[in-house]
Structure formats: C-alpha cells, structure tokens
Amino acid sequence: MPEKRHFRAIKGTRDILPPDSSLWNWFEESARDVFEAYNFREIRLPIFEQTELFARSIGTHTDIVAKEMFTFEDRPGSLPDPRKSVLVDDYMALLEDLLKRGELPNSEANRSILSQLREKMVEKQLANRNIGRGSGMPIRLEEYNKLALECAYLASVIELGELLTLRPEATASVCRAYVEHSMHALPGDQKLYYIGPMFRRERPQKGRYRQFYQIGAEVLGQSDAPVIDAEVLEMLLVFFHRVGLTRTTLYVNSIGDKNCRPQYVELLRSELQRVKNSLKEDSQRRIETNPLRVLDSKIPEEQPIIEKLPRISDHLCADCRAHFAKLKDELKLRNIAYEENWRLVRGLDYYTRTTFEVIAEGLGSQNAVCGGGRYDGLVELLGGQPTKGIGFAIGSDRSILSIQETGAAPPVHPLNVYVAWMGAKAYPAAVGIARKLRSHGLTVELPPEEMKLKKSLGLADKLGARYALILGEDEAASHTFTLKRLADAAQKTLTENELLEYLESEQRGSRA
C-alpha cells in the first residue's frame, strides 16, 4: 500500500457542497426559465479550445490573454526518448503512427525531422553494434554518445500538438460554434445561452476564483438594432429580480465603432502622453498597448487625471450617437433604471458600441456581477460572414454570494419524510412506502440500518425532516403508518391511501 496522503482543492478552486449546491441549482434553473421565456436556447460548449481563438477574440494585450490563461500543449502522452530506443524500425513506426493518427501535427517540418531522425537512428544503431568490437572502444563509445545526443535533439524539435487553453470566457466559443455550424443560415437571430465553469489565473480573493462560473447569453444575427440591446438588458434584469438580486446598479456606455473609435483612441493616447509622468507603471504601459484600459484604473492618485481626459461620448460618430440615444430611449420604455458611465470600456477587446456592467452591493472590490456588450465584427474575425452580436455573462459565484449575504435566498430542498422503521417484518413495507412517496414527488430518507425509535427520531430532527413515518411490526401487520410532525409532535395513524392523500395536499399547500 502506498503511504497515505491528503489532497486539497487547488488554490482558487472550491467545492460547492450541499445545501449551497441546491441554491446553485435553483439559481441556474431560474436563469433557464427566464431565458427560455425570451426564446433563448442552450448551447453546450467545450471547456477547452485552441489558444489562438481566445488570443484573437479577447486581444493579446488584455490581462486575460497576457497573464491569466491556463494553457497547455496537447502533446501525446508517450513520446519516447530516442536515446533509450535501440530498434530504429520500432521507434520510427511509433512516431509515424502518432503522425498518422493526428496525435502529432502532420506538418512539413515534422515530416522532415522524422526523416533526419530515421537516418541518425540507423547510424546510432550501427555504432551501438560496433562498440564492443576490437580496439578503439572509447572512441566508438564517444561516437555513439554523440549520435544519441543528436537523436535526442531531433526528437526535441518535433512540433508537438497545438496550444490549448481552458476557456476564460465563452463568447469566443459561441462565435466559433456559430461559424463552424453555419448558424447564419438558420432562420432568425441565434439567441443562445450557456452555463458553466470558466478559468482565469487571477489572484484569488472573496468573489474572485480561478475556476468560476458564468451564465451567459448571446444574440447573433444580421441586425444591430438597439432594441436587441435593450431586450437583452431587460432579460438580464428580469432574471436578477427573479432571484432577489435587486440592490444592483446597471451602468451603460457606448465605446463607438471602427469609424469613430480609432480617432478617439489616438486623441486619448496623445492626452495620456502629456500626463504620462503622473501615471503609475501599468497605466504608462497601457498608453501604448491599450489606452482605453487606462480609464479602468482604480488607483486613487490617477482618478483626478482621468476625470480630465477627453470622453468618448463627445467623439462618437453620428451613427454610434444615434444608436446609443435609441438604446437609452428603449431602456426608458422598459422602465429600466441605468447610469451612464463613460469610463466603462471593459477588459476584452472585442466590444463595439454598447458596453454594460451590473454592480451589486456588499461584495467589496469584486462587485461586478455581470458584464457584457456588443461585439459586431467578432464573427468575421473568426472567419465567418459579417454578423452582429451582443451578449452578457453573469458571474454566478458573486451573484450567489450577494444573494446569501442579503438573505434573499429561498429555502431549498426540504426533507419531507424520514422513515423510522423497526424490526425485520417492517423493513419490506418501509422500502415499499419510501419508493411510493418518492414517486409522488416527495423527498424521503430511508435509513439503511434499523435503529431504536428514539435515535431514529433524533436523527430525523437533525436532518430537518418535516415528518417521521413510524413503521414498526404492529403497523406492518395492520398495513398502517404512524405519521409524526416533528415541529409539534402531532401524530396520526393512517392507511397508505390516507397517507398519500394527506402528504400530497400538504405539499400542494406549501407550494401555493
């Protein structure tokens, strides 16, 4: 037996245990209900994709791509060391098989390396045979070692598999899937939602994890009408209302499009150059790489400087200005309260025009519970037809934290009945009634071992059961059950039909 060893969840990941998991299920089910009422349909996406997909979509200078992605090489598990392989044919057959099966990229470079490797392996094999023969052995050994090293070098430059990344977000994947499955040819706009884990190598803290969960929704199609933006925001806020997340603020902005943003970015860059020496290192770097991100700075000393910078709202082209004005009208029509925030530029490069975020109270610095915006042009960047897009992603971890802290969480998953059975003769009846009650939608706990009544009732109480169903040999003989309400110890004896009728009417009452 190997020695005992304890394991812990990796830093920034965590287990979601019961009863919290019930809250999570309720949260996700509520999203499904609301989103499906708006005619969104679920898309299930892979957890990892080519690194290039995220680099292209999110932008190479963003924090996510530059610092936070979990990336790995898709290398075959068994690329053997050629120094240890003496039989050329076996070794080369193995590599060629990996190439054929697509486990190694079948590139020109790899094919050339493989043919050089074959030659060197043959030389090495011959040298190996000669080592022990006659005089001059040290020289032959040296020759053999040199060839072995050359083989190892050639094997080390074989191109391994592609770079893959655990998804840091899912908008890029949705667009990739849209192109891959020619979804532009389907009727109407594609309205898709997804639920699942995302991965970013951020510094963990309250509300910030390395594996976190998002519920996202995206609309892809031919129209960029602001009505779509407004309906997406309406759906988002209806969902937040449904789950009791109401102490929130919606911030909206327009960051222009390819006609007006480049001029604004240049203006911003030149203004930032003028004040460069008063900015901290990160912002100084961003002047070159991504000046818009300077607006996102939270550093107190930088705030008065940023407040004086030119604002995008004064530099939008006529089309973008009209788009933003119409969006605001549409929000008013829907009674959606919002605040304009000219500094809301978002940390991903794919956005155009509308951007938005929802902030919740009481979460400290990680208080954004949702972020989103328009990304017309992203599908094209990924090889698709010109397509408009808008969407958002809700951070489930933070939203649920906020719901728990404000006490809005509903009671979930009650234990309706605990079957306190005693005696071998009562056991078959206990198994039968447990299955029947469960098939009528009740949650039932059937203890696997017989217990004394007092102990059984004590456990039922600790588990939070509403009723204990007492089933001894007497009850089994008379085909009756004793139902005890644990809150007040009220007790009645019932036949099976009476029992079902009673519990079902109770259940209906508690749902009403």
Residue with tokens 């929000």: 331
Cβ atoms 153, 33 nearer than 8 A: no
- 3-state class of 416 per DSSP? strand
Taking alpha carbons only, the member of 176, 183, 177 closest to residue 56 is 176
Size of the site for ligand HAM (CB under 6 A): 25
Span from 207-215, 277-285, 314-322, 478-486 in contact with ligand HAM (CB under 6 A): 207-215
Span from 32-40, 45-53, 388-396, 481-489 in contact with ligand HAM (CB under 6 A): 388-396
- The H or E element spanning position 239 is helix 226-242
Closer residue to ligand HAM in complex, CB, 124/346: 346
Copy the structure tokens of residue 253. Answer: 């902005």
Copy the structure tokens of residue 199. Answer: 């991965």
Selected binder of ligand HAM within 47, 368, 415, 486 (CB under 6 A)? 368
Q: Peptide bond before 19: cis, by omega within 30 degrees of 0?
A: yes
Please, which of residues 399-458 interact with ligand HAM by CB under 6 A? none
Closer residue to ligand HAM in complex, CB, 202/450: 202
Closer residue to ligand HAM in complex, CB, 140/398: 398
At its nearest, how many Å lie between ligand HAM and the CB of residue 61?
15
Span from 97-105, 203-211, 436-444, 483-491 in contact with ligand HAM (CB under 6 A): 203-211
Please, which of residues 305-364 interact with ligand HAM by CB under 6 A? 347
Closer residue to ligand HAM in complex, CB, 384/395: 395
CA 375, distance to chain mean position in Å, is 20
Q: Binding of ligand HAM at residue 391 (CB under 6 A)?
A: yes
At its nearest, how many Å lie between ligand HAM and the CB of residue 402?
10
Closer residue to ligand HAM in complex, CB, 327/430: 327
Closer residue to ligand HAM in complex, CB, 94/368: 368
What is the identity of the amino acid at 441?
G
- Tell me how far apart the alpha carbons of residues 487 and 428 are, in angstroms, rounded to a whole number: 28
- The H or E element spanning position 227 is helix 226-242
Closer residue to ligand HAM in complex, CB, 216/221: 216
Q: Cα(first)–Cα(last) distance of the chain, in Å?
A: 57
Taking alpha carbons only, the member of 174, 192, 230, 215 closest to residue 30 is 215
Selected binder of ligand HAM within 59, 226, 291, 371 (CB under 6 A)? 371
The 111-150 site mask, x for binding ligand HAM (CB under 6 A), equals: ----------------------------------------
Q: Which residues lie closer than 8 Å to 263 by C-beta, 6 or more apart?
A: 315
Copy the structure tokens of residue 105. Answer: 């990229």
Please, which of residues 209-238 interact with ligand HAM by CB under 6 A? 209, 212, 214, 216, 218
Selected binder of ligand HAM within 219, 232, 250, 370 (CB under 6 A)? 370
Closer residue to ligand HAM in complex, CB, 82/395: 395
Cβ atoms 205, 366 nearer than 8 A: yes
- The H or E element spanning position 240 is helix 226-242
At its nearest, how many Å lie between ligand HAM and the CB of residue 344?
11
Q: Which residues lie closer than 8 Å to 301 by C-beta, 6 or more apart?
A: 278, 280
Selected binder of ligand HAM within 235, 345, 393, 499 (CB under 6 A)? 393
- Tell me how far apart the alpha carbons of residues 474 and 423 are, in angstroms, rounded to a whole number: 10
At its nearest, how many Å lie between ligand HAM and the CB of residue 69?
12
- Within 10 Å of residue 259's Cβ, how many Cβ atoms? 13
Strands 388-395 and 368-374, by their bridges, are antiparallel
Q: Which residues lie closer than 8 Å to 78 by C-beta, 6 or more apart?
A: none
Closer residue to ligand HAM in complex, CB, 189/218: 218
- Tell me how far apart the alpha carbons of residues 413 and 32 are, in angstroms, rounded to a whole number: 19
Strands 248-254 and 48-50, by their bridges, are unpaired
Span from 76-84, 204-212, 462-470, 496-504 in contact with ligand HAM (CB under 6 A): 204-212
Please, which of residues 162-201 interact with ligand HAM by CB under 6 A? 169, 171, 200
Residue with tokens 């977000």: 169
Closer residue to ligand HAM in complex, CB, 212/264: 212
Selected binder of ligand HAM within 202, 234, 450, 474 (CB under 6 A)? 202
Taking alpha carbons only, the member of 187, 195, 254 closest to residue 221 is 187
Closer residue to ligand HAM in complex, CB, 103/257: 257
Cβ atoms 382, 57 nearer than 8 A: yes
Span from 79-87, 142-150, 221-229, 371-379 in contact with ligand HAM (CB under 6 A): 371-379
The residues of the shown chain that bind ligand HAM, judged by CB under 6 A, are 169, 171, 200, 202, 207-209, 212, 214, 216, 218, 347, 368-373, 375, 391-393, 395, 397-398
